[in-house]
Amino acid sequence: MLVTGLFLLLRVGPRDSASVSVFQISRLTTDAFLETLIQFVWLGMKTSIQHFQENITGVADKYNVETAEILANSALHLPVAQAAPIYEQLLSVFPTAAKFWKQYVEAYMAVNNDDATKQLFSRCLLICLQVPLWRCYIRFIRKVYEKKGTEGQEETRKAFDFMLSHVGSDISSGPIWLEYITFLKSLPALNAQEESQRMIAIRKAYQRAVVTPTHHVEQLWKDYENFENSVSRQLAKGLLSEYQSKYTSARAVYRERKKYCEEIDWNMLAVPPTGSYKEEQQWIAWKRLLTFEKGNPQRIDTASSNKRIIFTYEQCLMYLYHYPDIWYDYATWNAKSGSIDAAIKVFQRALKALPDSEMLRYAFAELEESRGAIAAAKKLYESLLTDSINTTALAHIQFIRFLRRTEGVEAARKYFLDARKSPNFTYHVYVAYALMAFCQDKDPKLAHNVFEAGLKRFMHEPAYILEYADFLSRLNDDRNIRALFERALSSLPPEESIEVWKRFTQFEQMYGDLDSTLKVEQRRKEALSRTGEEGASALEDSLQDVVSRYSFMDLWPCSSKDLDHLVRQEWLVKNINKKVDKSALSNGPGIVDKGPTGLTSNSTTSATVIYPDTSQMVIYDPRQKPGTGISPSTTATGASSALNALSNPMVATGGGGIMNPFDEMLKATSPALFTFLANLPAVEGPTPNVDIVLSICLQSDIPTGQMGKSPTTYPTPIPTGAARSTSGISGSNKSHPTPSGSSLKQSRDKQSLKRKDIGQDDDETTTVQSQPQPRDFFRIRQMKKARGAASSQTGSASYGSAVSGDLSGSTG
């Protein structure tokens, strides 16, 4: 107790709250020390309560589970008068926390305050269907009525029935059933009639218990068998055979039910969803249990099955109290089951739990309207409009639609005219009411007047202009559409008129002639060139304009490859004067979207985004130290050359730089794998050419036996000097100097040119294949593509220049 209180004081108490110093405490007697320390703890508790109350308005602090647990644990060691404010604060935030209610109730039970205990039970029992809390309730009832004779026994029996009707289907309710049966067996019987009634009550209790899937279902069945056999073996045979199949079904359902219940955290406090992994797993677990119960796996009667489903929903809401989808599912399930009144009660509880949820209010109003309760539905809509400051435009729109459905056109029009001065009466309401008049009331004149009235207030809103243009397009009023665009573009600033220009251009392409289309496109280019979006390049004609003019829906006057090319060109033109990152250039154009005078891509790299240079990526090695030299080693010439080919010139420099971690990895490589790696060409960046890699893999003759009689050692790269290369194919013994970083790009350019040239060469005499041609056509195609690449290779030991990306080891 003292440790907990001191910890709490140090955690949340102010620095100046300690009125007694450590030196003074050390001089006190034992009793005085304890008394002072208790006062010290209580001072910290008061500070904690004040801290909790001050942060009760903040959602993050309000639902702080750790703080709530600390307060609840500390309240256990305080007198009930001092602990009561703490419990009230906790339960105002966590009203379905059964463990807090149980602590609160037990605090009053400990001081024998029966009136306060009864009041607390009346507040918590029906919203917290948890077995430990209900067992505390029955313990209190038995304590109160244990000395009241027959009347007390009857009240206790009613309390047991009340408890079992609410939590008797819980998977953990086995002890309750056993306690109830034990209580029935303990009742006195003064005559044969009372004895018969007592035996009937015990039999009914057993029969209800053995068909309920609980943890103690097997024990209850054994007790039931013993009970029936002790009464009458002849009667027991018929009764047990009747309930044997029901018990077997209950036991099978219990085993399945147990799997779902084990996934649930029964100690979790109800907090608003934050998207954490644990919360999502709990939501999934409850959904699975609800689906399981709705399937009626035990094949019991509908009334019993519905009662079990209701119990599961109520338990679920103890933990997912702030989840509007659970409330909605519960209410709609009741409505579909034919219990409209129960659905209404669920919605009322949901709005009390989540008063700010507009979704639940609309769903509740929809239910009321569907059953003909127009007044109740209207009251719900008006509750969204009471606060003129926080009222949303959507609330206005939905109320107008509701009024038109229920009270007629005039009522909707009257509300629209009266509410126009509301601060949250945005252009959305004008558009919604105009379209309602046009589509539902078939009154295009009224709709046109509403759009015109709104145009005086929302000329600066491009979205409103576009909605108005769509309406005029439905009327086929091309003259007023052009006038609308001209009025809007004359008042809108250029940076806000992009979408309007786009729609104007599309309109002319669809309804205008070629001259008007070209004029609008030119005007658009001139206007947007001043915004800095496209710069001076916007004034130039491009092929994208032609593609935009002569495309329709998903039909294009070119191939998808041409579209990608045009999109890339357009992006390059916009960024022609900017420093473009190589990684940004390598990104694909993505999905092409048709624009008004050009093409756009939803994944085109933005010029404001800075991307890393992936061409400089190297393998991270924590042992790598700057300035560490690379010691040469004596190795085979071919292996040395191949290792130089696999080395990264940006890491292992010719003048003695830092250690290359890739070279360290190659030391532990097997000979067969090393030979295969040596045959791989150098790649630029993280994405190699798949066809080239496949061709090398298909042509590689990986040794399966010994590479030679003498073992081969694998060296580290030689920092300086020339790398010798011997080739058994070309016979070239020329030395290839280790290339520097400046020659890297040139070598890669040569490699790309050679790949293009060798793709057209069909001379089979230069290939290195010694095995017969495969019958797989895919392999034949890949080998043809890389035929030239193989002709320029000089074997696994002639890769002195492969570090620069050159596939030829014989070019000096």
Question: Which helix H or strand E contains 593, and what residues bound it?
Answer: strand 592-594
φ and ψ at residue 379, rounded to 5 degrees: -65, -35
Check residue 656 and give left, alpha or beta (phi > 0: left; psi -120 to 50: alpha). Answer: left
Q: Which of 436, 427, 510, 516 is nearest to 465 (CA)?
A: 427
Between the CA of residue 748 and those of 22, 751, 803, what are the distances in Å? Answer: 77, 5, 10
CA angle 773/777/779 to nearest 5° reads 65
| Tokens found for residue 621 | 């090695």
DSSP state, 686?
A: S
The DSSP annotation for 713-750 comes to --PPPPSSSEEP---TTT-----EEPP-GGGHHHHHHH
Between the CA of residue 257 and those of 212, 244, 297, 371, what are the distances in Å? Answer: 11, 20, 10, 36
Rg of the chain over CA atoms, in angstroms? 41
At 272-304, the pLDDT tens digits run 999 899 999 999 999 999 999 999 999 999 999
Per-residue confidence (pLDDT) for residue 598, from 0 to 100: 46
Per-residue confidence (pLDDT) for residue 696, from 0 to 100: 72
Amino acid identity of residue 122, one-letter, is S
CA distance 87 to 45: 12
Where do runs of H (alpha helix) occur along 337-477?
Answer: 340-353, 358-370, 374-383, 393-406, 409-418, 427-439, 444-457, 462-474
CA distance 20 to 36: 8
CA distance 563 to 548: 11
Q: Which of 223, 202, 201, 221 is nearest to 211 (CA)?
A: 221
Amino acid identity of residue 285, one-letter, is A
Kindly give the interhelix angle for 98-110 and 114-124, rounded to the nearest 10 degrees.
170
| Tokens found for residue 578 | 């900017």
The DSSP annotation for 175-239 comes to HHHHHHHHHHHHS---SHHHHHHHHHHHHHHHHHHTTS--TTHHHHHHHHHHHHHHH-HHHHHHH
| Tokens found for residue 771 | 């095995």
C-beta of residue 404 within 8 angstroms of C-beta of residue 420: no
Q: Which of 333, 346, 328 is nearest to 306 (CA)?
A: 333
Record the pTM.
Answer: 0.66
Which residues in the chain land under pLDDT 70? 1-60, 388, 531-540, 576-611, 613-668, 680-688, 700-812
Per-residue confidence (pLDDT) for residue 697, from 0 to 100: 72
- What per-residue string of b and e applies to 414-437 under the rule 16 or more CB within 10 Å gives b? ebbeebeeeebbbbbbbbbbbbbb
At 599-634, the pLDDT tens digits run 544 444 444 566 676 666 666 655 554 444 434 343
C-beta of residue 93 within 8 angstroms of C-beta of residue 68: yes
CA distance 117 to 114: 5
CA distance 573 to 567: 10
Average pLDDT for the chain:
76
Per-residue confidence (pLDDT) for residue 539, from 0 to 100: 56
CA distance 600 to 170: 60
At 400-456, the pLDDT tens digits run 999 999 999 999 999 999 988 888 899 999 999 999 999 999 999 999 999 999 999
Burial class from Cβ neighbours inside 10 Å (0-12, 13-18, 19+) for residue 559 reads exposed
Burial class from Cβ neighbours inside 10 Å (0-12, 13-18, 19+) for residue 772 reads exposed
CA distance 36 to 24: 10
Per-residue confidence (pLDDT) for residue 554, from 0 to 100: 87
